[in-house]
Amino acid sequence: MNQGMRTIIYPVKDIARAKKLYGELFGAKPVMDEPYYVGWNIEGQDVGLDPNGHSQGLTGAIGYWHVDDIETILSDLLTAGAETLQEVKDVGGGKMIASVKDADGNIIGLLQAP
């Protein structure tokens, strides 16, 4: 079952500067604040800053659809014509992510919680 788009990740070059800006925007302190990722939960919407996103080819924000079975959904999207951008990867604690690109170049992120 797909659970909707509940995570948005922004690639940033200066995480301290971006943390200050987004902290002001959200009016809140981050729930996770590490050199490799800063994240907030705003009314059930996870928003994160990734200082490594640009080096992984991201040029803008990516929305992640929360899914129960990332392997099956990824396979279904590839069968439907998507192109793999990032294979399934554990980003810590059993959280799995992957991303594909549609025929128009739009990026679709997938996230499976542990």
User: What structural domains does the chain harbor?
Assistant: 2-112 (3.10.180.10)
Assess whether pLDDT exceeds 90 at residue 57: no
Rounded-to-integer distance, Cα 7 and Cα 45, Å: 6
- Confidence tier at 23 by pLDDT (50, 70, 90): very high
Rounded-to-integer distance, Cα 87 and Cα 72, Å: 13
Assess whether pLDDT exceeds 70 at residue 89: yes
Q: What is the mean pLDDT of residues 71-99?
A: 94
- Confidence tier at 2 by pLDDT (50, 70, 90): confident
Q: What is the mean pLDDT of residues 60-88?
A: 95
Q: Is 107 left (phi over 0), alpha (psi -120 to 50) or beta?
A: beta
- Residues of the chain with pLDDT > 70, as a percent, come to 99
